[in-house]
Amino acid sequence: MNPLKHMAIIMDGNGRWGLKHKNSRNSGHKEGLKTVEMVIKFCIKKHIKFLTLYAFSTENWKRPIKERNYLFNLLELFLKEKLEKLNNEKIKIKILGEKNFSKKLNNLLDFAEIKTRKNTKLQINLALNYGSKKEIAYAFKKLNKKKKISENDISNSLFTKNIPDPEILIRTGNTQRLSNFLLWQIAYTEIFFEKKLWPDFKIEDLNRIVKKFSNIKRNFGKI
């Protein structure tokens, strides 16, 4: 059995789901929140300590303002509604990415991080305005005075400092690319590309993936 501490997910396919079922991309974003709640419960049950969710990329700013605002409002509502519950369940929230949203949302994100910072049951990393290349560029900037740079120096200069690399990366939505997500951190991650759109992704899919993962021979270069 392979240990599983950290699961990372590219939650893709909301827009297509929404268009297909309700003729609106945004309705898919709303529906996708149900899958988020299911995954959180799953991680708690399976004692997975870190869950990283790709919620908004640095490239997603290229979307129409209406969709962006809908996503930010959804996030705000979700946090306002659920923060107390998440905190009671001893969940720690951490934002990966630069907080450059409205003042209101930035403050709410700060508040969520501060309020939950001592929790140890599960850490949810929300990748928001996150881009792996930007993250690595920041790390270079931080390290630019150092003469010798080790792999650990780089890891410790990323947003994911102190977070172990994910053992599993899942991307839903029937697309096989990384879209600028955790490029450094997934050097040895097992990757699962799923056909289902994010709102259709269910607990049996997670169970299947985790079961398959536990039987993989992880070589890390050895034989």
Contact pick of 4, 6, 7, 15 for ligand IPE (by CB under 6 A): 15
Helix (H) or strand (E) segment spanning residue 79: helix 65-88
| Alpha helices by DSSP H, 159-219 | 203-214
Q: How far is the CB of 71 from Mg ion (least distance, A)?
A: 12
DSSP string, 38-66: HHHHHHHHTT--EEEEEEEEGGGGGS-HH
Bridge partners, residue 57, by sequence: 130
Question: Which of 2, 12, 144, 162 is an active site residue?
Answer: 12
Among 209, 207, 206, smallest CA distance to 191 is for: 209
- Contact between 194 and Mg ion by CB under 5 A: the answer reads no
Q: How far is the CB of 9 from ligand IPE (least distance, A)?
A: 8
Among 189, 133, 131, 185, smallest CA distance to 160 is for: 185
Over the window 144 to 183, marking each residue x when it contacts ligand IPE by CB under 6 A and - when it does not, the resulting string is: -----------------------------x-x-x-x----
Active site (annotated) includes residue 60: yes
Q: Hey, which residues between 51 and 90 contact ligand IPE (CB under 6 A)?
A: 54-57, 59-60, 71
Among 50, 67, 32, 9, smallest CA distance to 193 is for: 9
Question: Which of 14, 23, 26, 60 is an active site residue?
Answer: 60
Q: How far is the CB of 42 from ligand IPE (least distance, A)?
A: 19
- Contact between 39 and ligand IPE by CB under 6 A: the answer reads no
Among 60, 83, 81, smallest CA distance to 70 is for: 60
Question: How many whole angstroms separate alpha carbon 91 and alpha carbon 117?
Answer: 9
Stretch that binds Mg ion, among 10-18, 110-118, 137-145, 160-168 (CB under 5 A): 10-18
Residues involved in catalysis: 12, 60
Q: Could you list the residues that contact Mg ion (CB under 5 A)? A: 12
Q: Under the rule (CB under 6 A), what is the footprint of ligand IPE?
A: 10-16, 54-57, 59-60, 71, 173, 175, 177, 179
